[in-house]
Structure 1
């Protein structure tokens, strides 16, 4: 679970419902990866938090091997290059998933003010603070895969990021 690797986080797309198969192949090939999962209220098993995507942190010599992973559809591209996800975003997802709190994934969220959590189980996570109805939510937008991750959080537990203008 150590994300201190100098290698960037990339996004590997998977075929429908093949996330676990791909994750196992990556494990066997010793390619560092992260498949965030959550438990939906209506389902007894854990499911992929972002269906169709797995975060990978391959060493440079492992990147070409990602093309032959059974169940995968290749790396997500942006402007002709492998799309990268900031290590802070992956860390924030790990913190939120690890908390055990109910999470919602959103495909279309309006960007809000950048915030940092300063207290509670999500301490150190960064994201955008938005209002969803009467509930206050911390939202981590993953622009590269067109999704956002949100969790209920007490407004007293967040503060604006110092470098946000």
Structure 2
């Protein structure tokens, strides 16, 4: 279900309708009698009334969710990009165990770090960014900053490169 209050689209729609048609409080009048059905602001109100503000059960949305999980597995990130509430995402995870399994795998791979030495050609996978930073001889905060770059990560000491293992696998082993 889309959260209309997060981006204030419901409030904006009501304000637009009040500005265009005025405020009326007659008990005999209904909004449907005054506002034309094709008004975009009225359509937002209708979707909220009917509860059809977004559907995460169709396969295209689930495929999009899977692609977004490859980038970041946080529910807040997923809800923001799918324009729905965090509770809708959580509810979807309770309904679909395959998504839970995929998210668990992505979370595990997202925390792992692969370090490539361009001089010797060695690749080593570390469980945490802290261990990778310690092995590279840099501070953990600096490594976390370097890990924000998915494509062509910068060199450390002119021969070491670090990348999230999930991104490394999804990019086909490319640094």
**Does the TM-score normalized on the shorter chain lie above 0.5?**
no
| TM-score, normalised via structure 1 length | 0.25
| Larger RCO: 1 or 2 (CA < 8 Å, sep 6+) | 1
Q: Identify the structure with the greater strand proportion.
A: 1
Larger Cα-atom Rg: 2
